[in-house]
Structure 1
Amino acid sequence: MALLSTSLPANLTSLAKDGDKTNSNNCSLDNWIFTYVPAYIMSISVLGIVLNIFVLMVFILHKKPCTVAEIYLSNLAAADLFLVSFLPFWAVNAWNKFDWIFGLGLCKMVNVSILMNVYCSIYFLVLISIDRYLALVHPLSQEKMRRPRFAKISCVVVWILGLILSVPKFINRKLVLHRNITSCSEADPTILKTTESMILVLGFFIPISIIFFCTVNILKSLRNRSMEGVNAKKNNHKANTLVLAVLLAFLICWVPFHLREVPTWLNKAGILTDCSSMKVQSFCGQIFTYLAFFNSVLNPILYVIVGRNFRKKVKELFLLWNHKWTPTMTLRSSRTKLSVFHPS
C-alpha cells in the first residue's frame, strides 16, 4: 500500500505540532506558516464564497430548469461553498500559531466541513462521470437513468453519505491543552487510523476507479463519433469539455493531497529520517493540502471560462435584469422631466 494516511483533519494535528516545535527545534518549518498561510487561506475563502454563490445564483435564478449535469455541478458548488465558509476559522487558527480559540463546537464543525467536502466532491464528480458515460456510451438508457428526479435523489444520497462518513471525525475531535496552547486534535488514534483508511478506500481508490473507467470510455466514444460530421463533433465537444476540465482540475488538486503521506510512511520505515527530508516532507504536506483547498475556487472559474452553456445562462440573466431595470429607469426619468416642466 503506497498511501498510508489521507485524512485532512489529521493534518491539522501535524501542523499544530510543527508550530509547537518551531521555537524549540531547528529541524522545523519557518514562520511562513503563521504569516503567508493564513493570508492564502483567507484569500481562497473569500474568493470561494463569492464565486460559488455566484454559480449557485445563476443555476437557481435562471428560468430554465437545470439539466442533470447542471444539478450535479450546482451540488458540487454547494459542497465547495460549505468548505470555504469554514476556512476562515482555520486561517485565524494558523495566524494564532494553532492555538484554537473558537471552542469545541467549531473545532468539530470545521473538520467535518473539510471531510464532507472530500467525500461529496469526489462523489458528485462520480455522478457527473456516470451521467456523461450514459449519455455518450449508452444513449438508449438516458430516459431511465438520466432524469432530473433521479439526479436530485442521487445528490441527496451523496450528502447523507458524506455526513455519515464524517461522524467518526466529529466524535473524535477534542480540545487538548499542551504548553498553554489549546489544539483541536484527535482523541483516539484507533478512530483516526480507521478514518484514514476509509478516506483512502471510499474517498479515493473506488471513486477514482469509477471516474477513470467512465472517462476512458467517454474518450473512446468521442473518437468513434469523430466521423459523424462537424456539427456532431461540435455538440459533443460543448457537452463534455466542461466536465473533463472539472475532472482534470480535481485530479491535479487532490491527487497530490492523497499522496502527501508517502514520505511519512517512508519516515516511519526508517527512510528519509534526516532533517532536510523532514522539512521537505512537512513543506510538501502543507502545500498539497492548500492546493486541494484551491480546487473549491478553481471550479467556478472553470464554469465561466470553459462552460459555454453556463456563460449563456449568465448572459440571459443579465439581459433579463437589464430588461427589468430599463423600463423602471425610463419611467423615473420621464417623471423627473415632467416635474421640471410642470413644477408644482
Structure 2
Amino acid sequence: MDSINSTDYSLNSPSVRNSTLFQEPVRIIVASVLFMSFLIGLITNGFYLWILKFKMKMTVNTLLFFHLILSFFMSALTLPFVATTYLQNYHWSFGTLMCKVVNSTLSLGMFTSVFFLSTISIDRYLLVLHPVWSQLHRTPRGASIIILGVWISAVALSMPYLLFRVTHENNDGTVTCKNNYAVFSNGESEKMETLSQRIHLACFIGRFLAGFLLPFFVITFCYERISNKVKKRGRHTSNKPFRVMVTAIISFFVCWMPYHIYQGLTVTRNQSLFLQLSLILTLITTSFNSLFSPTLYLFTGENFKKVFKKSILALFESTFSEDSSAERTQNLSLEVYI
C-alpha cells in the first residue's frame, strides 16, 4: 500500500512534511491566507450570486456569470479543510468520505470555471461574427441547456478524483488524504505500481488538456477573431467588455497554472525545492482565484473613479446586463456585450 501511495504526492506527504519550507511558521501563514480567502470569498461570492439571481433580469449573460461565480463559490468551500490540515501538521481528520468530497469538489470547481469562461467566449464570438443566428437562437432556455451540459461534463471529468482519493494512516499515526490510482487492483506489487503510474499519467494528461490547454486555445481563438472583426469594421467601440473578459481569462490561467505545474511534477516524482514552492504557490493562487476573480470582473467593467459614485446594484447592471434597445440589436455584429 505504501508503494502505491508513493506514486502521488499530497499536501501531507513525507517529502512535504520534512521540508524546511513547510515548518510551523509557513504552515500558519498559509492556513491564515486560506481561512481569510474562505471567509471573504464566501461573503462576496454569495452576495454576487444573490444579486444575479434575485435582483437582475434573467438573460444569457446573467445565467452564464451566475454559474461561473457559483463555481468560485464551491471552490471557496473547500479551503477550510485544507487550512485545518495544515494547522494539524498535515493530518487529515475528516474521514475518507470528506477526503473524496473535498478533492472532487475542488476539481469540479476548476473544470466548471474554465468551461464557463470558454462558453462565455464562444457566446461573444457568435454575437459578433454571427449576429443573425444569435438573434434567433440565443435565448435563456438555450443557455440553460448548455449550462446543464457544462455541469454534466465537469462532474464526469471529476469522477476519477472521487474514485481514487483515499485516506492512509502513516507510520507516525498521521492520516494522509491522497490519490491511490490502483485502489481497485489486486495483484503483484510491481504490476500495481506500473498500473498506478499509467493511470496517474492518464489523469494528468486528461486534466491538463480538458481543464487548461484546449480551453486556452478556444478562448484565444474567439477573442482574436472578435478583435479582427471589430478592427475591420473600423468602429471604435467601448473596450469595457474586452477588459472584463481579459481580466477573467488572465486571473483564471494565472491562478491555475501553478496547479498544473505542480501536478506535472508529481507525475515525474520530482522531489525538488521547485515542487514544494509550486505547491505553496498553488494553494495561494487557487484560493485567490475564487476570492478575487468575480470582483475583478466588476471593477474592470467600469471606470474605477465612477465605481464609488454608483450603487452596487447599478454596478452589477452595468457589468452583466444586456441592453435590448433597437440600436444595440442592430449593432450586434460590432458590439461585445457583458
- Tell me if both proteins adopt one fold, taking TM over 0.5 as the criterion: yes
* 2:212 partner letter: F
1:33–1:145 Cα change, 3 Å: farther
Using the TM superposition, give the Cα deviation of residue 297 of structure 1 relative to its aligned residue in structure 2, in angstroms.
1.1
1:266–1:82 Cα change, 3 Å: closer
Rounded Cα–Cα distance in structure 1 between residues aligned with 2:23 and 2:297: 37
Q: What is the aligned partner in structure 1 of residue 247 from structure 2?
A: 245
Question: Are the aligned partners of 2:258 and 2:278 in contact in 1 as well (CA < 8 Å)?
Answer: no
Give aligned pairs, total: 288
Rounded Cα–Cα distance in structure 1 between residues aligned with 2:130 and 2:223: 13
**Mind listing any 5+ residue stretches in structure 2 that lack a counterpart?**
1-7, 182-195, 317-338
- Deviations 1:91-150 (CA, angstroms, capped at 9, x unpaired): 101111111111111111110111001111100001010011111122222124422111
| Residue 121 in structure 1 maps to residue 119 in structure 2 | no
Q: What is the aligned partner in structure 1 of residue 322 from structure 2?
A: none
1:187–1:163 Cα change, 3 Å: same
1:108–1:173 Cα change, 3 Å: same
Q: What is the aligned partner in structure 2 of residue 340 from structure 1?
A: none
Aligned-pair identity in percent equals 25
Taking structure 2 as the reference length, what is the TM-score of the superposition? 0.77
Q: What is the aligned partner in structure 2 of residue 175 from structure 1?
A: 167
1:249–1:145 Cα change, 3 Å: farther
Using the TM superposition, give the Cα deviation of residue 262 of structure 1 relative to its aligned residue in structure 2, in angstroms.
5.8
1:29–1:98 Cα change, 3 Å: closer
1:14–1:63 Cα change, 3 Å: closer
Q: What is the aligned partner in structure 2 of residue 287 from structure 1?
A: 281
Question: Are the aligned partners of 1:172 and 1:186 in contact in 2 as well (CA < 8 Å)?
Answer: yes
Rounded Cα–Cα distance in structure 2 between residues aligned with 1:252 and 1:223: 28
Using the TM superposition, give the Cα deviation of residue 14 of structure 1 relative to its aligned residue in structure 2, in angstroms.
5.0
Q: Which of these residues, 2, 16, 39, is aligned with residue 46 of structure 1?
A: 39
* 2:17 partner letter: D
Question: Are the aligned partners of 1:76 and 1:120 in contact in 2 as well (CA < 8 Å)?
Answer: yes
Rounded Cα–Cα distance in structure 1 between residues aligned with 2:88 and 2:22: 16
1:283–1:64 Cα change, 3 Å: same
**Mind listing any 5+ residue stretches in structure 1 that lack a counterpart?**
1-9, 319-344
Q: What is the aligned partner in structure 2 of residue 219 from structure 1?
A: 227
Q: Which of these residues, 203, 216, 220, is aligned with residue 208 of structure 1?
A: 216
Rounded Cα–Cα distance in structure 2 between residues aligned with 1:157 and 1:213: 22
CA RMSD of aligned residues (A): 2.6
1:17–1:73 Cα change, 3 Å: farther
Rounded Cα–Cα distance in structure 2 between residues aligned with 1:146 and 1:93: 45
- Greater C-alpha radius of gyration: 1
Rounded Cα–Cα distance in structure 2 between residues aligned with 1:71 and 1:315: 16
Question: Are the aligned partners of 1:58 and 1:317 in contact in 2 as well (CA < 8 Å)?
Answer: no
Rounded Cα–Cα distance in structure 1 between residues aligned with 2:129 and 2:110: 28
Taking structure 1 as the reference length, what is the TM-score of the superposition? 0.76
Rounded Cα–Cα distance in structure 1 between residues aligned with 2:35 and 2:242: 32
Rounded Cα–Cα distance in structure 2 between residues aligned with 1:224 and 1:31: 58
